[in-house]
Chains A and B, each alone.
Chain A
């Protein structure tokens, strides 16, 4: 009796020991270190450095001066407005064109495999390569686009040289390159719609247009919100395509915040460049958070 309690007492202490989880927390460690050091730390540091005049070696605190400059300089304001326009135009077009292409590709149309590949392939191609190619194609006098238009007696515009048009031309190329992704997202959304809905609608005598408007469109809302969110964030952050095609020009006509950040960095205005980063961050937070909330709330009502 007493022997068994004696033998039991060390075991009793063992009871207290917490058994290790089979899902060890240290699995987070490598990712956490890399992510924290190279992403989180700079992000938080940017909040401070955006308030300084900064040479990388030393920084002088100047309060909100960098931000004030952002709101004062016309070319910086222009960049801000351009960024929003660019994001809105590209995501809007990707939604419309992507949905139409997806509807087409999920119908009984011939050559679906070919169409799908052709539309999707540009997604995988180097953005800079695409940008350079279209810069050549969009040349006002020697570009293939305007030369082709001229065959029909149309005088093509200066796609990238007209200050009022340059940003939209780049946006158009962005849509050309990115619409394939929107399309496949919509295709995934469309094939997930149960066929019953269409059958029920057919029994109710719906026309194809009513089908689209009352069945397809509401039921692929999750895909729509994905496409909008994804391409809107992407649009706000775009740098490479703009840099490859116009470098923000002509003048500052097609500058966006991302290109301003780069230009200020190149010019050595590190504090101002970092302020640009913070502005972009705030812009994304201000626009994307309400946007996703709006899109998701609507979804909940369905």
Chain B
């Protein structure tokens, strides 16, 4: 059974360190998504696992073996590339069977495996075509088929859906998810799209600047982001932030105020913050509700009325702009004043270092 363990994994290109000591444990059968902004090192980390990049420091364990110096073909992995990387001069059949051929698999076994993979992916009718005769979605299937026939312990995906149009992307997302439950393999999936991460993952790894920011299930990350970066990255639309100071502490509630808000209550165990502490208040747009006596008051800017919900741009006194997603249709006018409130249990606080002041 192949879980993975990354121990202080590092990668430098010359003097530039792009992966700065990543520790991570992946259980067998997990669907893990690496997510983060472009350039944060997701692909590099994935390629280190694949064996396409040398590891500068630390240890990589697949199954129960340190594989730092093991060739990619012996790591029990398969990879699906963003560009699909289908061999243009081979038919789909040969593309899928190339790895088996290299492994000198007998012809009949090979044929059977190729057809089995084609059946799973419903592409039996494509086997005789060349990649240039396929649509984007079909190429994607072939690329996945090529991974499946190798029966790897670990599947690696590098932004596999980013070259597809939106509708197809949703279909393929479900397909990959289905594949995961059928194949009983570990999958590591790289994306910069946090929606993809939220929908696919058992476990999300948020990366920024070559450092793991947080590891957890999608809902954990959504509800309890470890720091400002994760809070801002996970969830759409983005979380609203504002600078505040702790005012007074009443039992398990902290009241915070700042140039833009006055006396917003936040639920927090006693002793975590002290009056006068500099903090950042974070509130998700969906957690804001209209309340005439609300603590957050601003001027209405752009209003998007979608029927089932209303997206409001709120300009706070200091000029900062917040977004609120309000339930139902709200007939708001540009320029009018609007007061909002937030459930104290859903408001988040971050300390001066950007770390979450944990509610748990």
Asked whether A and B interact, the reply is yes
B69 touching A16 by the CB < 8 A rule? yes
Residues of A within 8 A of B66 (CB): 8, 11-12, 14-15
Q: Closest approach, in angstroms, between the C-beta of A17 and any C-beta of chain B?
A: 4
A14 touching B64 by the CB < 8 A rule? no
Contacts of A1-31 to chain B: CB distance below 8 A: 4, 7-8, 11-12, 14-20
B68 touching A15 by the CB < 8 A rule? yes
Residues of A within 8 A of B68 (CB): 14-15, 19
Q: Which of A8, A12, A14, A19 contacts B54 (CB 8 A)?
A: A19
A18 touching B69 by the CB < 8 A rule? yes
Contacts of A152-188 to chain B: CB distance below 8 A: none
B51 touching A11 by the CB < 8 A rule? no
Residues of B within 8 A of A16 (CB): 69
Residues of A within 8 A of B59 (CB): 15
A19 touching B64 by the CB < 8 A rule? no
Q: Closest approach, in angstroms, between the C-beta of B183 and any C-beta of chain A?
A: 28
B64 touching A7 by the CB < 8 A rule? yes
Residues of B within 8 A of A19 (CB): 51, 54, 68-71
Scan A186-205; emit 1 where CB is below 8 A from any B CB, else 0. Answer: 00000000000000000000
Scan B42-57; emit 1 where CB is below 8 A from any A CB, else 0. Answer: 0000000001001000
B65 within 8 A of A: yes
What's the Cα separation between A16 and B70 when bound, in Å? 11
What's the Cα separation between A4 and B66 when bound, in Å? 11
What's the Cα separation between A11 and B54 when bound, in Å? 16
Can you name the residue of chain A whose Cβ is closest to the Cβ of B51? A19
What's the Cα separation between A20 and B54 when bound, in Å? 10
Residues of B within 8 A of A4 (CB): 64
Interface size on A, residues (CB 8 A): 12
Q: Closest approach, in angstroms, between the C-beta of B92 and any C-beta of chain A?
A: 25
Q: B65, B66, B70: which has the most chain A beta carbons within 10 Å?
A: B66
What's the Cα separation between A228 and B51 when bound, in Å? 47
Can you name the residue of chain B whose Cβ is closest to the Cβ of A12? B66
Can you name the residue of chain B whose Cβ is closest to the Cβ of A21? B54
Can you name the residue of chain B whose Cβ is closest to the Cβ of A11? B66
Can you name the residue of chain B whose Cβ is closest to the Cβ of A10? B66
Can you name the residue of chain A whose Cβ is closest to the Cβ of B55? A15
Q: Closest approach, in angstroms, between the C-beta of A78 and any C-beta of chain B?
A: 55
B69 touching A15 by the CB < 8 A rule? yes
Contacts of B36-90 to chain A: CB distance below 8 A: 51, 54, 59, 64-66, 68-71
Can you name the residue of chain B whose Cβ is closest to the Cβ of A20? B71
Contacts of A236-268 to chain B: CB distance below 8 A: none
What's the Cα separation between A240 and B100 when bound, in Å? 55
Can you name the residue of chain B whose Cβ is closest to the Cβ of A19? B69
Can you name the residue of chain B whose Cβ is closest to the Cβ of A4? B64
What's the Cα separation between A7 and B63 when bound, in Å? 13
Q: Closest approach, in angstroms, between the C-beta of A19 and any C-beta of chain B?
A: 5
Q: Closest approach, in angstroms, between the C-beta of A14 and any C-beta of chain B?
A: 5
Can you name the residue of chain B whose Cβ is closest to the Cβ of A16? B69
Q: B54, B64, B68, B71: which has the most chain A beta carbons within 10 Å?
A: B68
Residues of A within 8 A of B69 (CB): 14-19
What's the Cα separation between A18 and B65 when bound, in Å? 17
Can you name the residue of chain A whose Cβ is closest to the Cβ of B58? A15
What's the Cα separation between A18 and B66 when bound, in Å? 14
Q: Closest approach, in angstroms, between the C-beta of A1 and any C-beta of chain B?
A: 13
Residues of B within 8 A of A20 (CB): 71
What's the Cα separation between A17 and B54 when bound, in Å? 11
Residues of A within 8 A of B71 (CB): 19-20
What's the Cα separation between A14 and B74 when bound, in Å? 14
What's the Cα separation between A15 and B8 when bound, in Å? 14
Residues of A within 8 A of B70 (CB): 14, 19
Residues of B within 8 A of A7 (CB): 64
Residues of B within 8 A of A14 (CB): 66, 68-70
Scan B93-125; emit 1 where CB is below 8 A from any A CB, else 0. Answer: 000000000000000000000000000000000
Q: Closest approach, in angstroms, between the C-beta of A66 and any C-beta of chain B?
A: 48
Q: Closest approach, in angstroms, between the C-beta of A207 and any C-beta of chain B?
A: 45
Can you name the residue of chain A whose Cβ is closest to the Cβ of B52? A22
Residues of B within 8 A of A11 (CB): 65-66
Q: Closest approach, in angstroms, between the C-beta of B85 and any C-beta of chain A?
A: 14
Contacts of B291-317 to chain A: CB distance below 8 A: none
What's the Cα separation between A14 and B71 when bound, in Å? 12
What's the Cα separation between A18 and B56 when bound, in Å? 11
What's the Cα separation between A296 and B71 when bound, in Å? 44
Please list the 10 inter-chain residue pairs (A to B) with the smallest Cβ-Cβ separation, ordered nearest first: A11-B66, A15-B68, A17-B69, A14-B69, A19-B69, A15-B69, A19-B54, A15-B66, A11-B65, A15-B59
Q: Give me the interface of B with A, judged by CB distance under 8 Å.
A: 51, 54, 59, 64-66, 68-71
What are 16 inter-chain pairs, A to B, with CB distance below 8 A? A4-B64, A8-B66, A11-B65, A11-B66, A12-B66, A14-B69, A15-B59, A15-B66, A16-B69, A17-B69, A18-B54, A18-B69, A19-B54, A19-B68, A19-B70, A20-B71
A16-B69, A19-B68, A19-B70 known; 12 new pairs, CB 8 Å cut-off, are A7-B64, A11-B65, A14-B66, A14-B68, A14-B69, A14-B70, A15-B66, A15-B68, A15-B69, A18-B54, A19-B69, A19-B71
